[in-house]
Structure 1
Amino acid sequence: MPPEPINDASLEQFQAYLDQCKSRMKSDYQRRLANDLSKQQWDGCFQRNVLAVLTETYGLALERLKALPFQTADIPRERGMSALTRRLLPLFDGFVDGFLLFVVDKHRTSCALSNFPDEHKPSRDYVNQVKSQIAELWREFALNANGYFLECA
C-alpha cells in the first residue's frame, strides 16, 4: 500500500485524539486547581498547573503518535524536517490558545482566587511568561516528533 493513505489515516486518527485531549485537559486543570486550593497553594497555581497539564498532554501525544502506523521510507525531508512533521504540526493550531482562554476564564470566575489578584486575574506579563514556557514545551514536542519520523525513515 502506498504511504499516503496510511499516513493520511494516521494523521486523521491523531487529530481525533487531539480533539479528545481538549476536554481531558480542562478536567485535569480543574482537578489540579481544586487540589491546590484545598491545600491553600494558590501562589503560582496558574503557571504550575498549566505547565503540568501541557507537559503531560504533549508526552501522551508523542506516545500516541508513536503508536500509529506511518510509512516514512519515501517521505521527503527538507532542512532536517520530515514532510510528515510539516503535516503534523498544524494539527495543533489553536490547541493551546483555547486551553489558556478556558484557564484564564476559570481563574477570573473563581471566588476562591478572588483574594489573590495575581492568580484571580493573571496579568498580561504573567500570561506571557507562562506562554514562553509553553513555547519550550511545544518546541520539545515538535523536535521529538520530527526525530521520531526521521528515525523511522
Structure 2
Amino acid sequence: MSIHTNDICIARFSAWVSSQRKLSFTRYRTSLQRGLSVRRRAQLTRQAILDTVEKLFREALKMLYELPFDARSVRVERGWSALTLRILEPFQGFCEALLDDALRFNQSFLAISSIAYERLPGVDYQMAMRRELATAWKDFALTANDLLVETRQDCAAA
C-alpha cells in the first residue's frame, strides 16, 4: 500500500515540478523587471535568478509537506530517505537551464543594455551565481530529505 501511495505522490510532485519549470523563466523576467522598476542595478541578474529559484524551492517544500507520503516502509540509510532521490530527480538540470536562459535573455533585453555587467556578465559574476544556486539547491535537498525522514519517524511513532 505505501509503495503505491508514494508512487502517486512522486508522480504528482514530478508533474507539479514540470509545470513550475515551464513558468520559472517568466518568473525570472518578472523579478528582473521588478528590480529595474525600483532602480536596483547592482547584481540585478543574481538577485532575480536567486529569488526565482528560492521561491520555487519554498513552494516545492510546501507541496512535499502536503503530499500524503507513507514512509513507514521506506528505507533510511545514512540519514537519507530512499524517497529523496526520487523527489530531487525532476529538478535535474533546472538551475543550470534557468541560468542559461536568463543569460541569453539578458543579452537582448533592452532595459539592461546600458548595464554591461548584467547584459554580458563576466566569469566571476557567473561563477558567483552558480555557487549561490548550488547553495540554494543543497539547502532544498537537505530540507526535503529531513521532511521525508521526519515523515517516516512520525509514521513509526503512530
Q: Same fold (TM over 0.5)?
A: yes
Deviation at 1:37?
Answer: 2.2
Q: Which residue of 1 aligns with 2:112?
A: 113
Question: Which amino acid letter does the alignment assign opposite residue 78 of structure 1?
Answer: E
Identity score, percent: 28
Q: Deviations over 1:18-48 (max 9, x none)?
A: 1111232222211121222233322210111
Which AA in structure 2 matches 1:94?
G
In the other structure, the counterpart of 1:9 is 8
Deviations 1:48-103 (A, max 9, x none): 11111111110000001111111101111111100001221222111112211211
> Does the CA contact (< 8 Å) of 2:32 and 2:44 recur in 1?
yes
Partner SS state of residue 111, structure 2: coil
Q: Give the corresponding residue for 1:86.
A: 85
Give the letter aligned to residue 143 of structure 1.
Answer: L
Unpaired segments ≥5 residues, structure 1: none
1:69 corresponds to: 68
Q: Say whether the 8 Å CA contact 2:18–2:90 is kept in structure 1.
A: no
Tell me by how many angstroms 1:150 deviates: 0.8
Q: How does 1:135-150 map to 2 (within 5 A)?
A: 135-150=134-149
1:51 paired with 2:50, answer: yes
Letter in 1 for 2:107: R
| Partners of 2:119 and 2:33 in 1: CA distance | 14
- The aligned amino acid for 1:147 is D
Task: Say which SS state the counterpart of residue 112 (structure 1) adopts.
Answer: helix
Moved over 3 A (4+): none
